[in-house]
Chains A and B, each alone.
Chain A
Amino acid sequence: NAGVTQTPKFQVLKTGQSMTLQCAQDMNHNSMYWYRQDPGMGLRLIYYSASEGTTDKGEVPNGYNVSRLNKREFSLRLESAAPSQTSVYFCASSESVAGAENEQFFGPGTRLTVL
């Protein structure tokens, strides 16, 4: 039982390049999330998927797109990377978006640098 896995662990991009961050969970969770973590700012929600087939914007969606490929996988795409997108990206999953039992399980993160 691997929990939430993310690939890659590290990535360096040049401004304007594109890339997709992959996330998968093996806990049969309905809901999945993408966050970014910046120093002194905590985690900010980029996009989330309450259930398979649905996606919604979070707090900071600009410059990103997501795909809920199936129940297990939720990818985050940067179409044209900018230095402001240098950050640590975390994927998380939970049974649902509602309720206290909505413990979110986090992946180990992807450290992205955009030059």
Chain B
Amino acid sequence: GEDVEQSLFLSVREGDSSVINCTYTDSSSTYLYWYKQEPGAGLQLLTYIFSNMDMKQDQRLTVLLNKKDKHLSLRIADTQTGDSAIYFCAVKDYKLSFGAGTTVTVRA
């Protein structure tokens, strides 16, 4: 099956940019997703990118995809306290495979 790896923790100062990284193994993955999970809640889709794209921007979010290195990143500009959450990378061939999640802590 697909292996998806993420670093487990990220601490960032309020107002700075956050960059969350993800690597995956299956080059046939067609769609790649970023989900956000707030405490005690389910997952919410933030954004996704097609495998034939290099970059996608959506307001404060920028997704970069390097297919050669099988590397996906999510950049959050001007990080706010409300961005504190767990962020999951997920990749799709016939099903979604999730990484373990990166816990982002925003400090004042």
CB <8 Å contact, B50 and A100: yes
- Tell me if A13 counts as interface (CB < 8 A to partner B): no
Q: Write out, one digit per residue, whether chain A residues 87-103 have a CB within 8 A of any chain B CB (1) or not (0).
A: 00010100001001011
Kindly supply a per-residue 1/0 record for chain A positions 72-115, scoring 1 wherever the CB is within 8 Å of any chain B CB and 0 otherwise: 00000000000000000010100001001011111111000000
Cβ-defined contact, B98 with A42, below 8 A: yes
Q: Which residues on the B side are within 8 Å of A40 (C-beta)?
A: 8, 100
A108 — which chain B residues lie within 8 A by C-beta?
40-42
The reply on A61 being an interface residue by CB < 8 A is: no
> A19 near B: Cβ within 8 Å?
no
Contacts of B45 in A (CB 8 A): 103-105
Chain A residue with Cβ nearest B48: A100
**Given known A100-B31, A100-B48, contact A42–B88 (CB-CB < 8 A):** yes
Q: Say whether A48 faces chain B, with CB atoms less than 8 Å apart.
A: yes
Residues of A contacting B: mostly: loop
Say which size band chain A's interface belongs to.
20 to 34
* Interface footprint category on B: 20 to 34
Whether B43 and A4, one on each chain, are in contact in the complex, defined by CB atoms closer than 8 angstroms, is no
Taking the closest CB of chain A, its distance from the CB of B98, in whole angstroms, is 4
B4 sits at the interface (CB 8 A): yes
Closest Cβ–Cβ distance, residue A102 to chain B (whole Å): 7
Q: Which residue of B lies closest to A41 (CB)?
A: B100
List of A residues within 8 angstroms of B101 by Cβ: 42
Given A59-B1, A100-B31, A43 and B98 contact (CB-CB distance below 8 Å)? yes
Q: B residues 10-61 with Cβ under 8 Å of A?
A: 30-31, 40-45, 48, 50
Q: Is the CB of A97 within 8 A of B8?
A: no
Nearest A residue to B30 via CB reads A100
Q: Which of B30, B48, B94 contacts A97 (CB 8 A)?
A: B94
Q: How far is the CA of A109 from the CA of B38 in the complex (A)?
A: 12
A103 contacts which chain B residues (CB < 8 A)? 45, 48
